[in-house]
Amino acid sequence: MTHHEHPDAALIRRGYEAFGKGDMEALGATMTSDCTHHAPGSTRFGGHFKGRDNVLTMFGEMFEYTAGTMRVELGGVYPDGRGHVISTHKFYAEHGDRGIEMNGAMFFTIIGGKVSDVDECVEDITELDAFYSQA
């Protein structure tokens, strides 16, 4: 059987690849200028980040907070063919003497071949907040 990847799924894979390399320019190219990222939790990394520049700044701050240890293993990418994609992943990071390993998922809305909205979900919001609340 031949596998033909939907263009929306390919877009999300490119975004994950760019994030994994810390290539914010390539990641930004996958987003609309007014892209919004809705992140879980109540720390500075949780909330609603409106605009590509704000989303990319938040990601950059996450890389700084984790001293570059953050990495994401993509599980699956599931397009609906109508401008939505769900992805699953596991992410890992360290800060100080504490680490985190957690499953997560994202729900993407795609308009004109670019991500316009991202809803992020995680396995344990309380644990996520505890990790990102360290000094």
Cβ distance 14 to 50 under 8 Å?
no
- 117 close to 106: Cβ distance less than 8 angstroms: no
CATH class of this structure's domain 7-21+32-132: alpha beta
Q: Average per-residue pLDDT in the chain?
A: 96
Compute CA distances 120 → 4, 5, 43, 135, whole Å.
Answer: 26, 23, 14, 24
In this predicted structure, what is the pLDDT of residue 3?
Answer: 75
* pLDDT tens digits along 17-29: 999 999 999 999 9
* pLDDT for 2: 53
Furthest-apart CA atoms within the chain: distance in Å: 51
Whether residue 1 is predicted with pLDDT greater than 50 in this model: the reply is no
Supply the DSSP string of 56-82, one letter for each residue: HHHHHHHHHHTTT--EEEEEEEEE-SS
